[in-house]
Amino acid sequence: MISRRRFTQVFAAGVAATSLAACSSNAPAAPAGAATPDPRAGSDLRAGAGEHTSLGPIKHVDAGVVSMAYAEFGPATGQPVLLLHGWPYDGHSYVDVAPLLAAAGYRVLVPFLRGYGATTFLSPRTVRNGQQSAVALDVVAFMDALKIDKAVLGGFDWGARTVDVIAALWPQRCKAIVAVSGYIITNLEASQQPLSPVAELGWWYQYYFATERGRAGYRANRRDFNRLIWKNASPRWDFDEATYDRSAAAFDNPDHVDIVVHNYRWRLSLAAGEPRYDEYERKLATGPAISVPAITIGSDFDAGAKDGMAYRGKFTGKYVHRIFDGIGHNVPQEAPRPFAQAIIDADHL
């Protein structure tokens, strides 16, 4: 899920707005780089969702400390696109996006992050670490393993954070990016600041994970737990059990619980990171700007922050912000065609 700092912005602007209206079809033209609501209602944004049910054969490649599982679509000679999922989701978030991009000539790669699906650690001695720079370096190593120098990167939730981290630390690897919820690089110092009670309530699962009872509860009930997160994060998305089950299988990864729990404890400075990543985290702690061409997307999940103004200054290159009213947190699976179009448009910024 998004950062505590972003969550504060959401609640500050959106607690009173418990029902979120779809955008108007006659919105005025926005200036360059400003938010551009999609003129269609939320139901129309969902067109094409659920058309596919399979990612096809799952491939594997050794990438740094992991054997990365991934799906691949499109011609091997196409412009590479990497699509990154979040928690508690998996590669099926892109099950409808990837074929659209493949049909447009892109080589589409959908990796399963550490702790998900068939991605495994190469050594039992490797720390089951969920900190942001570790996840990002897995993806950079994945690109190296496939001899991809530069790609268009897109993601949401953990995936968007990973896209942001790569764009900030290794901009030469990014032709362009699409980041749902915008700039969500974790700042550990900011995460120590208390929020209002109503904002803290939204982070119940993070505090639950901070306890050993929470670790045990998530291990025992992860499918029911994550179904609840899906419903809360995307209240207008009427997904069926078959759709959820396809993603839920990824949570059976033997490292899943440890990675998730470490990620959220690390964000609260309750669990240490690894020294090998300290250099990267020091750079990220400065809040580095992102200079590569970027499209950011705000959805209903972002509430009062979905206009993108809170992080506009973090993007210093060619930039567009889009608003998907009526869409929840799992943007690519809920609105596959607009998300795919954002990837194509970012590639041409």
Residue 119 φ/ψ region, left for φ over 0, alpha for ψ in the -120 to 50 degree band, beta for the rest: beta
pTM: 0.90
SS3 82: strand
The CATH number given to whatever domain includes residue 94 is 3.40.50.1820
Q: What is the mean pLDDT of each run of 10 residues along the chain (349 residues)?
A: 46 31 28 55 84 98 98 98 98 98 98 98 98 98 98 98 98 98 95 90 94 98 98 96 98 98 97 97 97 98 92 98 97 98 98
Tokens of 275: 């020294």
DSSP string of 163-176, one letter each residue = HHHHHHH-GGGEEE
Q: What is the pLDDT of residue 198?
A: 87
**Confidence at residue 13, expressed as pLDDT on a 0 to 100 scale:** 36
Q: Which residues constitute the domain of residue 116?
A: 4-347
The reported pLDDT for the residue numbered 202 is: 85
- Whole-number pLDDT of residue 5: 42
User: How many domains is the chain built from?
Assistant: 1
| The pair of three-digit structure tokens given for residue 348, joined into one six-digit string | 């041409």
Are 281 and 184 a contacting pair, CB within 8 Å?
no
**Which pLDDT score, from 0 to 100, does residue 33 have?**
54
